[in-house]
Structure 1
Amino acid sequence: MSRSALLSRRTVVPALLVLALLVGTGLYLFQPWKAFTDTTVNESLPTTAPTARDGAMNGGAMKDGAMKGDAMKDASGTKDMPGMKDSRPTDLARGGFVSHEHGTSGTARTVRLADGSRLLRLEDLKTSEGPDVRVYLSTRDADAVESGLGDGAVALGKLKGNLGNQNYAVPAGTDLSAFHSAVIWCKRFSVSFGAADLLPAKA
């Protein structure tokens, strides 16, 4: 092998290795194929089963064999049974998504369940897939979030899918009144895909 060919090989091989490393790093960081894929998640809004006080279900009408008539109507849900807690979820706040880095639409709702737990529900969500996309509650409003999450933002987890209806548990003890928007946030590149103002729900 000639001297010039040997030098050329010594130059080309390292250059190819560097190029392969750069391409691999770029693919890992940007995951460009996600611009052409969708993940749909459709979760129902959870409810908590009603609970009886002082054994109302196991005593009284049940013990006396009187689980008929009105009691049967109660069990079927046509009217509330005495001593039963309301199992219906309660809307606390809601708002529609606005687009930031990527086109984003849908509705965000904060909901309190009968057991007192709270969740953020995303409905009819439509946004883009991306690397390390997460859901946050921010103390900033939706427009301000475009420049950053702000102090005190709470992470609710990785985005389950870029399409559909999804639930995200709010950590116990979180003061929801301090948070003004729900955010679809790409943590890897610190950009907002979209955000929704959380406005108090009408009674």
Structure 2
Amino acid sequence: MPVLLVLTVVAGIGLILFQPWKAFTDTTVDEALPSASAPATNGGPAMQGEARVNGGEPSAQNTGPKDLATGRFVTHEHDTSGTARVVRLADGGRVLRFEDLKTSEGPDVRVYLSTRDDDAAKEGLGDGALELGKLKGNLGNQNYTVPAGTDLSRFHSAVIWCERFSVSFGAADLARIKS
């Protein structure tokens, strides 16, 4: 009897940690790119190459959504594909947007901006990585708010990272778009 009890407890802990059913499930998210109706009074620091006037507001020619950086996902521990974009919104806010994302589900999967490039992020996020939240779904289109005041020039890639097992599912280098 004690052996059966120990095996039951170990199996329960294994189920909680590994969540094996996620290997057979998918969560699809289809969010539109956020829009805003009025320009913000403080658009935060400009990304390198981003036109600013009057102490920080986007210039009139840049009041609509604008791609600041973009990249394609590469596979690390799980097959991952799709596009990552950093987009400045009309109100000056910024989002990290995943489009056509395809990856695996997993326990405690998060979205990060990393100071490392996509290849180096396979070994770890690097000092100063910025968590943007839990992965909303393993398939589809989704947005993650970049906190105001974030210096995007410090970050080189977007990473889908499993906290529980400290592994990268995949990453995308964020190549700056020239104005």
What TM-score range do you get, normalising by the shorter chain? 0.7 to 0.9
In the aligned structure 1, how far is the partner of 2:38 from the partner of 2:165? Answer: 44
Question: How many percent identity over aligned positions?
Answer: 74
What is the alpha-carbon root mean square deviation over aligned residues? 1.4
Q: Does 1:123 align with 2:102?
A: no
By percentage of residues, which structure has more helix? 1
After the TM superposition, which residues 29-178 of structure 1 pair with which residues of structure 2 at under 5 Å, given as runs? 29-50=17-38, 87-178=63-154
Residue in 2 aligned with 1:183? 159
| Matched pairs, number | 159
What amino acid sits opposite 1:43 in the alignment? E
Which of these two proteins has the greater Rg computed from alpha carbons? Answer: 1
Q: CA deviation at 1:109?
A: 0.3
For structure 1, the 5+ residue unaligned runs are 1-12, 52-83
In the aligned structure 2, how far is the partner of 1:137 from the partner of 1:86? Answer: 24
Q: CA deviation at 1:50?
A: 3.9
Q: Does 1:24 align with 2:12?
A: yes
In the aligned structure 2, how far is the partner of 1:159 from the partner of 1:201? Answer: 25
SS at match of 2:122: helix
What amino acid sits opposite 1:99 in the alignment? T
Q: What does the per-residue CA deviation read over 1:134-181, in whole Å, with 9 as the maximum and x for residues that have no partner?
A: 000000000000000010000000000000000000011110010000
Q: CA deviation at 1:87?
A: 4.6
Q: Does 1:200 align with 2:171?
A: no
For structure 2, the 5+ residue unaligned runs are 40-59
In the aligned structure 2, how far is the partner of 1:124 from the partner of 1:202? Answer: 24
By percentage of residues, which structure has more strand? 2
SS at match of 2:136: coil
After TM superposition, the runs of 4+ consecutive aligned structure 1 residues lying more than 4 A away are 84-87
- By relative contact order (CA 8 Å, sep 6+), the higher-ranking structure is 2
CA contact (8 A) 2:38 2:91 kept: no
Task: Give the TM-score normalised by the residue count of structure 2.
Answer: 0.86
In the aligned structure 2, how far is the partner of 1:142 from the partner of 1:46? Answer: 26
